[in-house]
Amino acid sequence: MITLGHETETDVAQIEALLDLVFGAEERLRKTCQRLRDGQKPADGLALVLRDGDRIVGTLRFWDLLIGGQTRALLLGPLAVDPSLQGTGLGSKLMRHGLNLAAARHHQAVILVGDEPYYRRFGFQTHYMGNVDLPGPVNRDRFLGLELVEGALADVSGMVAPLEPTLGLPCGMLFDPEFDPALGLGWTLA
């Protein structure tokens, strides 16, 4: 049975192994978005995992950032599901749950670099990112934004940077101790 939970400190090694499997170890660590995650911790309460027993089979993390030094947003990624479970809808369910959770925590916008046809179904669009830059190369056709609050990305411009200076902490150091493990996959999404 696959269950949804918050990432814990003990999950980090399994998550990294899953990300290596899905994206390739060396390739994923060279990406521009990884520079924004290096030394940072995921946004409070927004590092999720799917478990099949003791095995992590899915992960989704969000990261706090600033655009142009003033507009707060979340960086989504990576989203990964074990290759043996891809195509089952788990990634979509994890994505919708993560976005709903981000909205419930009063975040206003999410950006990512990813497959536009996949993320379009969740409302992500390229036009929000027209005047936004990343600290490295990016395929502009894959640079997407989503407003969780209408107007949150209107007229946004400038460089994307982490919200906090580098903390030097490994991912997963903080987690939500109040997470209800009974949540499971029976959630209702709007």
Q: Where do the domains of the chain lie?
A: 2-165
Tokens 């580098």 belong to residue: 166
Q: For every one of its 190 residues, what pLDDT tens digit does the chain have, with 9 covering 90 and above?
A: 999 999 999 999 999 999 999 998 877 777 888 889 988 999 999 999 999 999 999 999 999 999 999 999 999 999 999 999 999 999 999 999 999 999 999 999 999 999 999 999 999 999 999 999 999 999 999 999 999 999 999 999 999 999 876 544 333 322 233 333 334 333 322 2
Classify residue 119 by burial, with Cβ atoms within 10 Å: 0-12, 13-18, 19+: buried
Instruction: Using DSSP, state whether 186 is helix, strand or coil.
Output: coil
The domain defined by 2-165 carries CATH number 3.40.50.300: no
Residues near 39 by beta carbon (within 8 Å), at least 6 away in sequence: 166, 167, 168, 169
